[in-house]
Amino acid sequence: MQDQIALLAAVTILAVLEQAYFALQVIYARRKYKVSPPGTSGPPEFERVFRAQANCSEYFPLFVSILWVAGIFFHQGLAALCGLLYLCARYQYFSGYVRSAQKRLRPMYFSTQILWILIGLSVAGLFAHFLSLSSLIQKSEIPNKVRLLFSR
């Protein structure tokens, strides 16, 4: 079982480490620009770091969820590859946003495309799973037994 999910687990750990890195950048920016918690406004340089981290955190649950669904129900290797591409794009997004709001756009669009691919893989995998379950149920004696229960 573990070898069937090892790549997904590795990408998940990398994603958690990336999120931790982004959070640390906000802490460093708070110190550098003297913005005390819970404040979220300050110089534009601070606000870009803060927003980049917040945006990446907002997408994190979606990413992890569809990574695992795509990996379990479609293909672990393909899902893990998409996951790595997503993490690279998110790092570029964060780094670009810190420099200039405009520099976040290209990596943002790319990471969004990767999310859509993972969603597509998830849907395709689940669809195939339910089709195979439906086929198994139809081939079994279950439908006949259910009909007998309700025909009395």
Quick: pLDDT tens for 57-112: 999 999 999 999 999 999 999 999 999 999 999 999 999 999 999 999 999 999 99
Two tokens, residue 28: 């460093």
CA 66 to chain centre: 6
H-assigned helices in the chain: 2-33, 44-73, 76-99, 105-139, 142-151
> Does the 2-151 domain belong in CATH 3.40.50.1370?
no
- pLDDT at residue 137 in the model: 67
The residues assigned a catalytic role are 31, 104
User: Given pLDDT bands bounded at 50, 70 and 90, which one contains residue 38?
Assistant: very high
Alpha carbon distance, N-terminus to C-terminus of the chain: 44
Residue-wise pLDDT tens digits, 117-147: 999 999 999 999 988 877 766 666 655 655 5
Radius of gyration of the CA atoms of the chain, in A: 22
**What Å distances lie between residue 85 and 27, 31, 91, CA to CA?**
26, 31, 10
Domain ranges (residues) in the chain = 2-151
Please answer whether residues 122 and 73 qualify as being in contact, where contact means their C-beta atoms are separated by less than 8 angstroms: yes
Average pLDDT over residues 42-49: 98
